[in-house]
């Protein structure tokens, strides 16, 4: 099973939503790296459920335990292993799902992939809970990247028809990033917070769910990181981002909107800035051309689908009776997953960027 990622900053994840534990093994952290454990804990809390009325009432503290590769506050250079023990399990909520696959979930596809042996409890290995391990690895990657002047930020771009403004490069400061990290609904225009809360609450009352779009930006990367074709920066980011459950689309820079432009409009014309750095007047290509960074910010948007588990009655099939059936999903579920996926997408991005930066360092003069 493809539970591994990376050539230089290598990760391997394991676990199930309602198993005894989940975790990750990380290889490639430079020896002597000092880890800010409080920062890592803060990142884990951002993803954890139970933070607000917008999330599932399931409470998991996501307290991590480092098993190896860390001594006297610094990494040893050997693989770093971490586990999170699941403490709030209610598997009885999912007993019906063994015979009635949930629409929108991986119950049916997973059943076929693993010949019926897949763990159905809380979606098992397909659960968004497994992303806690990605957040852990991403928090470490962020610390290493920050030392290199590379910053990663994300905000909720839209929920339903409620739109936030786009990032501009000047938004990406440590002060603004810290502000977004401390917001339950990380948006740039705070006037839309109440609107989002109201539409989410209305959707919850209707036993339904919502999705949304998250925008990310990476600054501080020099030109020349990445490769063409199969290991392009866009390819690697897309591969990782689509590994985050609920992701259904990604677009870089102007994205699909670039098809409405002429070549002259789409091309990012270039200039020397006051410091002698080569920049472009626009960033329609999202800071990546030919699979390689241009020195402009990497900019992309991610489409997150509505939470699949809803209490509204849905049509499905009964695998035991071989008949059509009706399913009403019970249990504890998010009416919207978008706020909790923001730190996951940041972490996933950090993992890829660090892996590519370390790869580039192998060939730099």
In angstroms, the CA 4 to CA 14 distance is 10
Question: 78 near 69, Cβ under 8 Å?
Answer: yes
The overall pTM is greater than 0.85: yes
| Short-list 259, 166, 291, CA closest to 216 | 166
- Whether the pLDDT of residue 365 is over 60: the answer is no
| Short-list 172, 223, 169, 173, CA closest to 357 | 223
pLDDT value of residue 9: 97
- Whether the pLDDT of residue 119 is over 80: the answer is no
Total count of domains within the chain: 1
The whole domain housing 34 covers 4-363
- Binding residues for FMN are 125-127, 290, 305-309, 332
In angstroms, the CA 348 to CA 173 distance is 20
- Binding residues are 47, 53, 125-127, 290, 305-309, 332
In this predicted model, what pLDDT tens digit does every residue of 33-42 receive, in sequence order? Answer: 999 999 999 9
pLDDT value of residue 97: 74
pLDDT value of residue 57: 55
pLDDT band at 93 (very low <50, low <70, confident <90, very high): low
In this predicted model, what pLDDT tens digit does every residue of 313-327 receive, in sequence order? Answer: 999 999 888 999 998
pLDDT value of residue 124: 57
Helices (H), 127-262: 131-147, 174-181, 193-205, 233-241
Q: What is the largest CA-CA distance in the chain?
A: 72
pLDDT value of residue 52: 60
In this predicted model, what pLDDT tens digit does every residue of 174-198 receive, in sequence order? Answer: 999 999 999 999 999 999 999 999 9
| Short-list 284, 26, 276, CA closest to 140 | 26
pLDDT band at 360 (very low <50, low <70, confident <90, very high): confident
- Binding residues for NADP(+) are 47, 53
In this predicted model, what pLDDT tens digit does every residue of 248-288 receive, in sequence order? Answer: 999 999 999 999 999 999 999 999 999 999 999 999 999 99
The domain spanning residue 94 has which CATH number? 3.60.150.10
């Amino acid at each position: 099973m493809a539970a591994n990622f990376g050539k230089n900053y290598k990760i391997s994840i394991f676990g199930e939503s309602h198993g005894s534990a989940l975790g990750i093994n990380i290889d490639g952290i430079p020896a002597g790296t000092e880890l800010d454990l409080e920062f890592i804990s803060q990142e884990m809390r951002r993803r954890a459920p139970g933070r607000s009325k917008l999330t599932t009432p399931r409470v998991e503290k996501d307290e991590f335990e480092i098993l190896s590769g860390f001594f006297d506050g610094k990494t040893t250079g050997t693989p770093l292993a971490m586990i999170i023990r699941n403490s709030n399990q209610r598997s009885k909520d999912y007993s019906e799902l063994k015979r009635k696959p949930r629409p929108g979930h991986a119950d049916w596809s997973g059943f076929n992939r693993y010949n019926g042996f897949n763990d159905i409890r809380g979606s098992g290995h397909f659960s968004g809970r497994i992303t806690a391990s990605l957040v852990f690895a991403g928090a470490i990657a962020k610390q290493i990247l920050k030392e290199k002047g590379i910053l990663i930020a994300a905000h909720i771009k839209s929920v339903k028809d409620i739109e936030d403004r786009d990032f501009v490069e000047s938004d990406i400061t440590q002060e603004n990033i810290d502000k977004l990290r401390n917001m339950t609904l990380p948006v740039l225009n705070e006037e839309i917070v109440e609107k989002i809360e109201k539409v989410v609450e209305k959707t919850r009352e209707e036993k339904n769910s919502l999705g949304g779009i998250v925008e990310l930006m990476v600054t501080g990367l020099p030109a020349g990181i990445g490769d063409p074709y199969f290991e392009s920066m866009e390819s690697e980011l897309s591969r990782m981002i689509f590994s985050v459950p609920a992701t259904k689309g990604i677009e870089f820079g102007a994205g699909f909107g670039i098809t409405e432009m002429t070549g002259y409009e789409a091309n990012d014309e270039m200039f020397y800035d006051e410091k002698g750095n080569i920049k472009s007047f626009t960033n329609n290509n999202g800071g990546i051309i030919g699979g390689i960074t241009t020195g402009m910010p990497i900019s992309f948007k991610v489409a997150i689908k509505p939470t699949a588990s809803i209490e509204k009655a849905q049509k499905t099939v009964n695998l035991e009776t071989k008949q059509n059936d009706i399913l009403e999903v019970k249990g504890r579920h998010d009416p919207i997953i978008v706020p909790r996926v923001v730190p996951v997408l940041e972490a996933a991005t950090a993992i890829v960027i660090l892996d590519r930066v370390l790869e580039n360092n192998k060939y730099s003069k």
